[in-house]
Structure 1
Amino acid sequence: MSNDNQNTSPLFIDRNNKQLTPVQKMNQLKEVLTDSSFVSDLQVQIDNNEKHQRNAFEGFTDEMMMYAFIHKPSHIKDEYNKKGNTKKEYIRDLHQFFSLLYNSRDFFKEDVLNYTEGSLLRNLEKRHIRRYQEWLKNEAQLKNGKIGYGMATMARKVVIIKSFLKWLFQVEYIQRPIYAAFLNNEIRIKDRPVRDLTYEQVKALIDFYEYHPFNHAILTLLATTGLRIDEIAKSTWSDLYYDPRQNNCYLKVIAKGGKERHALIKETVFERLQKLRIRKRLSSELDPNDQSPIFTTNRGNSYNASDFSRYVKNMIKQTKFEFLKYKPKDVTPHWFRHYFAQEAHASGAPLLYIQNTLDHKKSETTEIYLKGIMKKENDAAQYVDESKY
């Protein structure tokens, strides 16, 4: 593939365009990475390379390789390919990584022997990867004013960038396994944040908003189902239904990986959802054709998951309960998944039931939610007869 063909690709970002500032160029890149309509163009170029017995990605730019990694299907079944939220994470972290490279392009030209023009990724060496990981830990300036990412966020970013660099090596776009330079940053149990809420604390939060139908309903739903906030944000009234065999109401949601999940909705929760609907002047009767969101903004639209999470976090903070001061971080909707697991466990639910309800692939993940409780329950000291002393 000639350079001319490469430059006319709709995926080509002209980094040499002097009419755009560096920020504008990186914003342009983010727009392209977000647009999934170029997949067929990319496949045509791959097919053409293979037809002429060239490397499938010959003539591709760094930007095109990022796009391919994010959007190109890897499995014949759509349900096993990256979904919207996963792609957003990949775009965010890859764009941040590449922006760092782009802003350091003059440094690379001086630092790398036999510098390859036209590519930043092909000039990366292991020391640069170590430097990037150090930047994540000690130098990245976060929106909240803090310096350096927490262990969980840093681990996620490393997983994405490492898998991208490994793929680049596998398809021969880069010639060295530089991904091996990443230090192990696996999150150990002791490093995981404690997200414990007691029954009394959750009940206090719910009761505080007894006369606020919206807040009352969302907190009750989170506490009694273990649903993720993005699953709730996407749900419509038509997703609620009654199952006569179980004599219960359920909410059908799309969980991670596009899997369908049916969450049991207790009678009290349903009544609070109905109260909210009535306050919003919407029908409170079950209707499989009613596509209105269960939780709507003031304009009647569905919530963006991150905005909804922020709303719940701020709403909890506004209660100003004393116990909130002693939590290691702000209480977010995810804390209620931990609470649900702990409350279900305390009520006698088997670990497998809790795992399936929370949609965890591995029981080890569920056990992390219960680590504090289970460790105390399994303390050998309980078998020691204190009367002997």
Structure 2
Amino acid sequence: MLLEDAFMEYEYHCLARNYTKKTMINKRQEYKQLKAFLVEKRGITELTSIHQADMKAYLRYKQNSGLKPQSIQSMAKQVKAFFNWCVNEEYLVKSPMDKVALPKVPKLVLTGLTTNEVVKMMNSFKGNDFLNTRNLAILCIMTDCGLRAMEVSGLKEVNVRETEILVFGKGSKERLVFISPALKKILIKYERVKRQYFKGRIKQSDHYFLAYQGKSMSTVAVYNLVKESSKRVGIDSKRVSPHMFRHYFAVQSVLSGIDIYSLSKLLGHSDINITERYLRSLDSSQLSVKAISSSPLMNLHNVY
């Protein structure tokens, strides 16, 4: 079987699985580079001609091109997925990525947002007009529910219920997150202002968060409003992004006593190890508060 034919079939397999547009762009780019390497550097055009040595050479090629370990790990994940699919389809007996050692990725500690910074960013959108009310609601929903930017922009009106939100995450996986009374207050105001703003105007979308023209918001628009809020309050020591609100939600939830398994479900993580990475930024003072609040002896009130 030609390598090019295998890639083409796998692409339609991924499209049938409803992978996101961003994921498909990354996959196509990686497979294009892999095919070019195998054909031009190794003289390989047949799928069954690829061996472990070829994939080790590909990794060395990536490393020599200056790719960082984290990027190589991400690349290897895409390549492994393709070869595992080939094995499942019985186009290959075994994956040529089996037992191919990957470079170790240093454990980076995320520098998250402080509560003071989050409050300041929220307060940067003051006023009762449509855009300020919408932007505040977006920051609040990310803070209180830990949604990704693409999940915020993809929310439909029908998905936002009385006390819960149906979220479609990566790979169109469904999960429920819950609306606290504090968030409900913000959302009620946004919905009222949105109705007033679009009274007499044409709404071109049934998405929950709308651009002022009545169209759905893009993920980039969510990113830009977060950047704008950080710029307004003078946060220049960090690269502020929507993901930092998701990280803030995770840390604050753990400090409030939620277990990591429940948190992982709320965040929509497929692997609990991903959730654990969010919590590496807990500093000693935060750990101290959590340790004291969960101290067995402190809760044995009848002992002393």
Do both share a fold (TM > 0.5)?
Answer: yes
Tell me the CA shift for residue 185 of structure 1. Answer: 4.1
User: Is 1:356 aligned with 2:272?
Assistant: no
Unpaired runs of at least 5, structure 1: 1-59, 74-80, 140-146, 243-248, 284-289, 384-389
Q: Deviations over 1:226-270 (max 9, x none)?
A: 11222221112222222xxxxxx3322223452242431523321
User: Is 1:314 aligned with 2:227?
Assistant: yes
| Two-structure CA RMSD over aligned residues (Å) | 3.7
Q: 1:70 to 1:186 in 2, by over 3 A?
A: farther
Tell me the CA shift for residue 340 of structure 1. Answer: 0.8
- 1:72 aligned partner, one-letter code: H
Q: 1:62 to 1:298 in 2, by over 3 A?
A: farther
Tell me the CA shift for residue 339 of structure 1. Answer: 0.4
Tell me the CA shift for residue 282 of structure 1. Answer: 5.2
User: Is 1:66 aligned with 2:7?
Assistant: yes
- Within 1, Cα distance between the matches of 2:221 and 2:63? 28
Which has the bigger relative contact order, CA under 8 A and spacing at least 6? 2
2:18 aligns with 83
Q: 1:362 to 1:174 in 2, by over 3 A?
A: closer
- Within 1, Cα distance between the matches of 2:192 and 2:2? 55
Q: Who wins on radius of gyration, i.e. which is larger? A: 1
User: Is 1:255 aligned with 2:175?
Assistant: no
Tell me the CA shift for residue 164 of structure 1. Answer: 1.4
Q: Deviations over 1:173-224 (max 9, x none)?
A: 467743136322464xx52350411100111111112232232221121111
2:120 aligns with 204
Sequence identity (%): 17
Tell me the CA shift for residue 122 of structure 1. Answer: 5.0
- Within 1, Cα distance between the matches of 2:92 and 2:257? 53
- Within 1, Cα distance between the matches of 2:87 and 2:261? 39
Q: Deviations over 1:73-102 (max 9, x none)?
A: 8xxxxxxx83332x752x334422333255
1:161 aligns with 79
- Within 2, Cα distance between the matches of 1:137 and 1:275? 54
Q: TM-score, normalised by structure 2?
A: 0.74
- Within 1, Cα distance between the matches of 2:93 and 2:269? 37
Q: TM-score, normalised by structure 1?
A: 0.59
Asked if 2 retains the 8 angstrom alpha-carbon contact of 1:217 and 1:276, the reply is: no
Tell me the CA shift for residue 121 of structure 1. Answer: 4.5
Asked if 2 retains the 8 angstrom alpha-carbon contact of 1:236 and 1:293, the reply is: yes
Q: 1:106 to 1:311 in 2, by over 3 A?
A: same
Q: 1:357 to 1:148 in 2, by over 3 A?
A: same
- Within 2, Cα distance between the matches of 1:209 and 1:150? 39
Q: How does 1:1-389 map to 2 (within 5 A)?
A: 60-72=1-13, 82-85=17-20, 88-89=22-23, 91-101=24-34, 103=36, 107-108=40-41, 111-112=42-43, 119=45, 121-137=47-63, 139=65, 148-149=67-68, 151=70, 153-168=71-86, 171=89, 173=91, 177-180=95-98, 182-185=100-103, 187=105, 190-211=106-127, 212-242=132-162, 249-257=163-171, 258-265=173-180, 266-274=183-191, 276-278=193-195, 280-281=197-198, 292-305=206-219, 307-319=220-232, 321-322=234-235, 324-325=236-237, 327=238, 330-373=239-282, 377=287
Asked if 2 retains the 8 angstrom alpha-carbon contact of 1:253 and 1:263, the reply is: no
- 1:255 aligned partner, one-letter code: G
**Equivalent residues, number:** 280
Tell me the CA shift for residue 279 of structure 1. Answer: 6.3
Q: 1:297 to 1:67 in 2, by over 3 A?
A: farther
Give the secondary structure class of the aligned counterpart of 1:302: coil
- Within 2, Cα distance between the matches of 1:320 and 1:268? 24
